[in-house]
Structure 1
Amino acid sequence: MASTQPVPARQDSEFTDDIEKKVYASSDEKPDYVDTTTYSEDGLEELRLKQAEELEARLASGAADDSEYLVKDAHDVSIKVLSTRDDYELPVVTFRMLFLGLGFSAFGSVLAQLYYFKPQTLSVSESFLLIVIYFIGKAWEKCLPSHGLFRYINPGPFNIKEHGAALIMAFTASSSATAIQVISVQSLYYDNQLNPGIAIFTLLGSQLIGYSFAGLLQEALVYPSICFWPSVITPATIFQALHFDGGLGSKRTKIFWILFAGIFCYEIIPQWIFPVLTGVSIFCLVDHTSSVIRNVFGGANNNEGMGLLAVCFDWNFIGSARLYTPLWTQLNQDVGIVLTYILMCAVYYGNIWHGLNFPFMSQAIFDIDGLFIPCTNITEQYNQTAILTDNKFDPVKYAEVGPAYFAATNAFATISHVLCFYWKELLPFFRMLNPWNKTVTMTHDEHYTAMKRYEKVPKYWFLALLAIAYGMAQATDYTGKSNFTWWQLTVILFLSSFFTIAYCTTSAILGYSQFSTQLDGFYSMIGSYMAPGDPIANMYAALYGSQPTVQGIALLGDLKLGQYLKIPPKVNFLVQVMGCIVGALLNYVMELSIVSQQRAALLTVAGTRLWSGQNAQSFNSNAISWGALGREMFSPGKTYFMVPVALAIGTVPPMIQYALHRKWPRNIFLKNFNTSIVLQYSCDLGVGVNTQVNTSMTLGIISQYWIRNRYPRAFTKYNYIVAGALDGGTQVISFILNLALFGAAGPAVPWWGNDGKYSADRCLAPA
């Protein structure tokens, strides 16, 4: 490792002059990839790494001036906020790492699947796993002997690479896979109990396709510094603070634990004792009876309202995303949210698509003849099963029942188009697919340079994995009675690969990945034309369309985290594949047990205090509405024909903006304004709790603009560690409260401060 001794401070301009091809996330004037025929690859990369280490030493010692602390772009984040340090001799694949990784993979996957069928949904967060694994790893280090044969069980200090590899394995497994929804819905509603082997291979195939996509994309979306993956900066910072900063003697570590403990204690108040802190709305406190005030200014309950001008004091909803998401990404999101306020009110109160007949916010579908009862917000829902014969659409029955309608504010759709602005970042990927390509590209990233000592994962590993996963998917489609043919699966996966590239690019560069419901709807719409009238085939279209993209983003982020932590690539491959397999197997075991034992409770609308089929019911309703009714709702001349038209329209604004940017390339607004994000966020508030929106918008501007520019030293040292501490403490106490009080592991425990007479913000409660 090159020397890290301090050297005399140098100005940013001198640093830039030495590295003439340095790349910034906000600039497209200099390429991130340089042809190696012009420059000496090893010499230039080693020079950059040495300068990054020297800068890191100055920043750590306090010898740097404010201009050096200032974070201006993705490259600055990667070398000023994070260390390029690599302790090469540290063991990674140890018994301790495998035990913790597999143990928490089992814990996370079982828990995620258990709470999929609970009234109170709970997810296992990355910050929660990071903290718990750290505590147990350090206890292991201190309590077990490390001499003699015990050195294989306890190989000394619990190091950053063991910790990181165990977390990546556990977090890969800690979710309820989309395939579980398909399996459980087929069992519950279509009397199709899949063979265990078919079910497991369906789970593995759908997830490993996403991992294969991620592996093939890493050359373009993991190695370069411009792809800095904002969402993983916070966990990477926590890792380095815990393992590199010298324990509790470090100021950053002290701040982390103080804030962690403080938010842990504080969150009991808004989450249980006084949930009014979830959303303080002056308008709702003044008037508890107006549905208009609730729709516009309320939002502390699910599907309540837009939360305009409300203030949130609950970090569980605010979250740290605005502390690490780049400023221009946030500003584009904010513009889209402002449009949402206007569009939702205009569509609903303008009675577009008969909006006034239905609830202001809802994900259900309704019968136009269902009477809207004033002051109750109740409308009769659409009788979905009455239009099916043998689980397929029956036009005769449909003619008797009549058309279906969405609540008006849930009818917007759009698609992001990133090819115009990010074609340079995608170019290495397309070059890589060309077997005759002779051009070798050099990736400018100091963390990548430090990782070059480790052997890469061969590309054919991912290609072989993709072929195996594709074979699994084709086989299980036919043996699992999916009604989804080989060509339909192939077309869906081709589309999925395109969207995976596009959305992974925005996640890597802009930190933007809020798209899952839009993609589900898109693939369901495509499926409704591929297999009209077939809800089961429609579920498989959504599964193989969106799951690879969701999985690809998660796994690419972990690959970048592994690069920041200097985990050898083959070890990263090992722990991610192990996490996928463990998660799939235990997801299925838990689903099989719960569905067989709690079938009656899961099939009821209300469920019980311990079990609920609400998630499966929602997934099935979506499949019926798109699969059975897709052509009746979205074809030309039908009520919602503008929804598919909007997909085509959504590709036009980025092209217009790019043309204007080419004409005026120095205009900062045209360079950074992102029409895809604006359009995506123009339909962002149609579901969920919304009172945190205004608070998080303000927090993001304070952090990413005011503190970053006015106090660069404090921002570089503490911004991301504060984000991690607040998230970690909140998620640990949320986990405990869900288990103990909110009905996730038993009956809910009420409190006089949250009696349910009104919404949490004291607005008129939605029925």
Structure 2
Amino acid sequence: MHEKERRRMTRGKFFLIALICSFSWYIVPGYLFPTLTAISWVCWVYPKSITMQQIGSGLNGLGVGALTLDWSVVASFLGSPLVSPFFATANVFVGYVVFVYGMLPISYWVLNLYNASTFPLFSNDLFTGSGQLYNISAIVNDKFEIDMDAYNQQGKIHLSLFFAISYGLGFATIAATLSHVSLFYGREMWQRYKESFKGKPDVHTRLMRKYKDIPNWWFYLLLVASMAVSLVLCTVFKEEIQLPWWGLLLACVMAFIFTLPISVITATTNTTPGLNIITEYCLGLMMPGKPIANVCFKVYGYMSMNQAVSFLTDFKLGHYMKIPPRSMFLVQFVGTIVASSVNTVVAWWLLTTVPHICEKDQLPESSPWTCPGDHVFFDASVIWGLVGPRRIFGPLGYYNALNWFFLVGLGGPVIVWLFARALPRHAGWISLINMPVILGATAMMPPASALNYTAWCFVGTVFNFFVFRYRKGWWKRYNYVLSAAMDGGVAIMGVLIYFALTSEGNQLDWWGSRGEYCDLATCPTAKGLLVDGCPVL
């Protein structure tokens, strides 16, 4: 902000210009012309073909040929593509192509795996064996536990092929994370650990020593206070929480074990594998039929690890920027209290003021309140908590073969490591093959769509490769500033649109505000199947 302007434009001025441009443009896809969010022209060419709309839909299909002019689509789920290293973007792209354009089409149209044609190609809904939506409320009793008689009457839960394989890839990702970090970074981690006691400090550490360090008792006090509040919730409100005290301690142990390997993947690739699936799986096996307990266990296990990684990321930035450690700690502590309080208030306010929030069937096509992430969260609580993994991924379900993905994930990094050892001349680029990133490339799908990925990979490739290669000075000077400006402009205009227009019911209704026109993309392709809104084949 205090940079002197000479011949080139200052970062501050560039940020302001880019922010104004992003802010001004977002009114077009965000309100005036929402169809620009997903330009799926293949659906326009084939308005009556289910298969072609499945192929061309950017939101509910493979997204072949789909385009977007909306930055929120590019950066909403995967973050800004401008801040990821090119090799990480390439790994994500490879994993995405192999899964979405390789495994999925073959399994769906050629093999009809798990009776895939009975269900939509891309969906995070839960279905009965006949392809109808599963009535979840019918199998839940007053204590939010499963009613086995109602469950047996309605039948087993079925998933779309995309949703099922996504869980399999999640199994592989967490196993690959452990083996990849052990093989490629195990020796270095051990050496760094030993050097931390007797090694010479680097220049950053020497400069930071002029500040007072954070006393250890600050961390211990915060840990004890957090654990005490959590234990009160699990014991005093045990009927509402459903999670026993030992479940809380187990969740903390899992977060502690996985924080280091996942932090290594985050530090080297800017991609963070999640613990959501493995935490749900573990407690689902131990406490089936209790969805609230499963959700709480996932939050304590997965989110504790995720917040720890974010905490380390912030401290690393503060270390390089020479920010006093105590100031960093206090800012993070206060920020956490403020953010959690604001999030709770805003969520409560939205639930009480937005009609039919999260009810996609009751909302207009262009409504932003469809809650795709919350929908997946709810389905996960049903799959892992209410019904339990034994009835879906175990011997009582259809998808027990997906457990082999654990072995695939564990062995994938071993193969890459052996190739790197066997071909030392090519070890440099071989080591850039990151199996946790490749296997976990589509971890955000669903709720992310194919268009989110294709747009993210395209923009990331252009900026990370061409701009970096031919305008390296521009990259170092303006790249991260541009990323922040794009995000900021969209965020500010999005808030302004809601309070000034949509909250008052001022919605536009014309051809450009009615979605991507791929209504048939959510239809199954099985012959003779009756589904509302879909033609009978």
**In structure 2, what residue type is equivalent to 1:331?**
A
Q: 1:761 to 1:672 in 2, by over 3 A?
A: farther
Cα deviation, 1:98-118, whole Å, max 9, x if unaligned, reads xxxxxxxxxxxxxxxxxxxxx
Q: Is the 8 A contact 1:361 1:687 kept in 2?
A: no
Using the alignment, how far apart are the partners of 1:603 and 1:253 within structure 2?
A: 39
Q: Which position in structure 2 is the counterpart of 1:125? A: none
Does the 8 A contact of 1:387 with 1:394 survive in 2? Answer: yes
- Within 5 Å, which residues of 2 pair with 1:142-541? 242-245=1-4, 250-299=9-58, 301=59, 304-319=60-75, 321-340=80-99, 341-349=101-109, 350-370=111-131, 379-386=132-139, 388=141, 390-412=143-165, 413=170, 414-416=172-174, 417=177, 418-423=181-186, 426-427=189-190, 439-442=197-200, 444=202, 446-481=203-238, 482-513=241-272, 515-516=273-274, 519-541=275-297
Report the CA distance between 1:368 and its aligned residue: 0.8
Kindly state the Cα deviation for residue 652 of structure 1 after the two structures are TM-superposed. 1.6
- Evaluate the alpha carbon distance shift between residue 682 and residue 267 of structure 1 in structure 2; reply closer, same or farther with a 3 A threshold: closer
Q: Could you tell me how far apart the structure 1 residues matched to 2:102 and 2:482 are?
A: 34
- CA-CA distance at 1:655 after TM superposition: 2.1
Q: Which secondary structure does the structure 2 equivalent of 1:651 belong to?
A: helix
Question: What residue is the counterpart of 1:673 in the other structure?
Answer: 433
Asked if structure 1 preserves the Cα contact closer than 8 Å seen for 2:19 and 2:485, the reply is yes
CA distance in 1, matches of 2:298, 2:420: 35
Distance 1:738 1:502, change over 3 A: farther
Call closer, same or farther: CA 1:428–1:497 in 2, change over 3 Å. farther
Q: Does 1:658 align with 2:454?
A: no
More deviation, 694-703/522-531: 694-703
Change (3 A) 1:471 1:449: same
1:524-563 equivalences under 5 Å are: 524-563=280-319
Q: CA 1:460–1:688 in structure 2 vs 1: closer, same or farther (change >3 Å)? A: same
- Please report the RMSD computed on the Cα atoms of aligned residues, expressed in angstroms: 3.3
CA distance in 2, matches of 1:488, 1:565: 39
Contact 2:51-2:521 within 8 A present in 1 as well: no
CA distance 1:291–1:441, change in 2 (3 Å): farther
Deviation at residue 336 of structure 1 after TM alignment: 0.4
Give, as a single letter, the amino acid of the residue that structure 1 aligns with 2:236.
T
Which residue identity lines up with residue 393 of structure 2 in the other structure?
Answer: F
1:280-326 C-alpha deviation (Å, 9 max, x unpaired): 34423322222222222211x4xx11212323222222237322211
> In structure 2, how many angstroms separate the alpha carbons of the residues matched to 1:346 and 1:576?
47
SS at match of 1:542: helix
Which of residues 714, 717, 721 is equivalent to 2:481? 721
Deviations 1:666-710 (A, max 9, x none): 313321101111111256544334324334323323322232233
SS of residue matched to 2:48: coil
Q: Distance in 1 between matches of 2:196 and 2:438?
A: 39
Cross-structure match for 1:628: 386
Deviations 1:433-456 (A, max 9, x none): xxxx98334454x54443232122
Once the two structures are superposed, residues 479-527 of structure 1 have per-residue CA deviations (whole angstroms, 9 ceiling, x without a partner) of: 12223222222222211222222222222221112x45xx323211111
Q: 1:179-221 CA deviation, whole Å, 9 max, x = no partner?
A: xxxxxxxxxxxxxxxxxxxxxxxxxxxxxxxxxxxxxxxxxxx
1:184 is matched with which residue?
none
What SS does the aligned partner of 1:415 have?
helix
Amino acid at match of 2:215: P
Q: Distance in 2 between matches of 1:530 and 1:450?
A: 50
Whether the 8 Å contact between 1:488 and 1:530 is mirrored in structure 2 is no
Query: Can you list the C-alpha shifts for 1:326-363, whole angstroms capped at 9, x where unaligned?
Result: 11111111100111222222232232122211222222
- Displacement of 1:253: 2.9
Asked if 2 retains the 8 angstrom alpha-carbon contact of 1:384 and 1:621, the reply is no
Query: RCO greater where, 1 or 2, for CA within 8 Å and sep 6 or more?
Result: 2
* 1:444-487 C-alpha deviation (Å, 9 max, x unpaired): 4x544432321221334223322332232222111122232222
SS in 1 for 2:127: strand
**Contact 2:104–2:162 (Cα < 8 Å) also in 1:** yes
Pick closer, same or farther for the CA change 1:274–1:632 going to 2, 3 Å.
same
Any unmatched runs of 5+ in structure 1? Answer: 1-241, 371-378, 432-436
Q: Are the equivalent residues in 1 in contact too, given 2:128–2:158 (CA < 8 A)?
A: yes
Q: Tell me which amino acid in the other structure corresponds to 2:186.
A: W
Q: In the alignment, residue 486 of structure 1 is paired with which amino acid?
A: W
Asked if residue 732 in structure 1 is aligned to residue 492 in structure 2, the reply is yes
How much has 1:617 moved relative to structure 2?
6.5
CA contact (8 A) 1:284 1:761 kept: yes
Q: Which amino acid aligns with 1:404?
A: I
Identical amino acids, percent of aligned pairs: 24
Q: Please identify, of 246-255 and 669-678, the stretch whose mean Cα deviation from structure 2 is larger.
A: 246-255
Alignment check: 8 A CA contact 2:125 2:133 kept? no
Q: Distance in 2 between matches of 1:440 and 1:665?
A: 31
Structure with higher helix content: 2
Distance 1:250 1:525 in 2: 53
Match of 2:450, SS state, is coil
Does the 8 Å CA contact 1:532/1:628 hold for their aligned counterparts? yes
- Segment drifting more, 566-575 vs 385-394: 385-394
8 Å contact 1:309–1:694 — kept in the other structure? no
> What is the CA-CA distance between 1:632 and the residue it aligns to?
0.9
Q: 1:270 to 1:616 in 2, by over 3 A?
A: closer
C-alpha change, 1:621 and 1:565, in structure 2 (3 Å) is same
- Equivalent residues, number: 501
Residue of structure 2 in register with 1:112 after alignment: none
**1:747 pairs with 2:505:** yes
Aligned-pair distance for 1:594? 6.8
Q: Write out per-residue CA displacement over residues 380-411 of structure 1, whole angstroms, 9 at most, x where no aligned residue.
A: 32434325474323433332221111111011
Closer, same or farther in 2 for the Cα pair 1:289/1:449, shift >3 Å?
farther
Deviation at 1:530, TM superposition (A): 1.7
Choose the corresponding residue for 1:705, options 441, 462, 465: 465
CA contact (8 A) 2:40 2:66 kept: yes
Q: Which of the two has higher C-alpha Rg?
A: 1
Task: Report the Cα distance in structure 2 between the residues aligned to 1:586 and 1:284, rounded to whole angstroms.
Answer: 41
Q: Does the C-alpha gap of structure 1 residues 637 and 332 become closer, same or farther in structure 2, counting only changes over 3 Å? A: same
What amino acid maps onto 1:694 in structure 2? T
